[in-house]
Amino acid sequence: MRRFVDFAREERGLSLVELIAALSILSLVMGTIYSVITFGFTAYNKVNVENSLRDEADILMSSVMTQLYTYGPEYVSNIVNENGIELSRTTQPNNVVIPSKQIKIANSSLYIADSSAPIETGKVDNLKSALLNGSSIQLDCGNASACRDGLIRITLVLEQEDQKHIKHQLKMESRFGF
């Protein structure tokens, strides 16, 4: 131990070989540290965007499910020439038709509104991502145009940009009966 203390006090400095060896080792260590930190930040950013996409897909799915179960439709049908479904029902005592509800995908967004309302109303807002082509809401109940029971197939293709403007996509498919 005494030998190392004496070496430090002599102030002779380092030889060129010792300096090159020290710099080489330092550059290897610093390069490794830099690559690990960069990989960590990239992975963290990717996980954050993927979690955000999953959360937004869950919000959209729960909006559809909530509307379906709170409205309580008697019949569900596909919307002609559009990407969505229409929920309709009548009141039992006097058979008055209640305005039907539409759940559809248009203009890269999900809309839930009365069928008589303009398209701008009923948009599910406050989302960071957009619905891409390939997103669909379809009714599957055989050959009937309107069904009392059946299967609703929802495919959501969401896209969101991260902080580095890299686009990430998530495709979520769900089926549920009514």
Look at the chain and report how many structural domains it folds into: 1
Q: How confident is the model at residue 7 (pLDDT cuts 50, 70, 90)?
A: low
Residues of the chain with pLDDT > 90, as a percent, come to 24
Predicted confidence at residue 54, as pLDDT, reads 93
Spatial distance between the Cα atoms of 45 and 166, rounded to a whole number of angstroms: 10
At 115, which amino acid appears? S
pTM of the model: 0.74
Spatial distance between the Cα atoms of 18 and 48, rounded to a whole number of angstroms: 45
pLDDT tens by residue, 48-63:
999 999 999 998 999 8
